[in-house]
Structures are given as structure tokens and as C-alpha cells.
Amino acid sequence: MNVSRSTRTALVVAMIAGLFSISGLAQDPTDEAAAKIDEKFGGNIKKLFATRCSWCHQGYGMKQADGPKLAGTSKSLAQVMAQIMNGKTPMPGFKNQLKFEEVQALAEYIKALPAD
């Protein structure tokens, strides 16, 4: 096949553009999980997480830091809610700072995160 240089260049450019558009579609999994929760609770769950939890739980729950990675937790929804309310040394409890709905929303967000 006799393909001219300019045709080849055009094909390479098209392929690279295609790769960029595919990677652009790959959504941040924390945004995907948050979207469902925000719709249900009518708040901004990632903002709440950033304010209260991010100094120990990094990457919106996706990475281990002072606290463990939360995505893929083996705890049930009820156990996650209990941990948020009561804490477990060195994690503080949040039952006096957060509304019940906020605890529930955080727990549902954590359970909605993909395990890896």
C-alpha cells in the first residue's frame, strides 16, 4: 500500500487525539461515587469529606495515610456509620459534630467507592 507521508501524519494525529478523548472520558471514581450521594442527600459529600476526614484519609478515601484506605472496607454500612460516630483510637468520633444524615451520607459514599 502506498500511503503518502501527509496521510500517515494525519493518521498518527487522529490516533493521538483519539487516545486523549478516551482518557478524558475515564471518570474519577470518587466523583462517580459522590454524584449518587450528592443527588440523594442534596449536599457536597466530597467537600464534607475534605473538611472532616481528608487530613487522615487521603485521596477522598482512595489512599492510605494516617488512617487506612476506606475504599473496599470490609465493614458493613452500619459498622462504617458506627465508626464515624464513635471513632476508634486514634480516630475521633464525629457524633457531636455531624448530623445523622451527614454520617449516613459519608458511610454510603465510602461503601460506593470501588475496592481498587
Q: Residue 18 or 87: which CB sits closer to ligand HEC?
A: 87
Nearest Cα to Cα of residue 83 among 114, 56, 51, 106 = 106
Q: Which residues bind ligand HEC (CB under 6 A)?
A: 52-53, 55-57, 66-68, 70, 73-75, 80, 83-84, 88, 90-92, 94, 106, 110
Residues in the chain: 116
Q: Residue 12 or 50: which CB sits closer to ligand HEC?
A: 50
Q: Residue 35 or 56: which CB sits closer to ligand HEC?
A: 56
Tally of CA atoms within 13 A in the half-sphere of 11 that contains its CB: 6
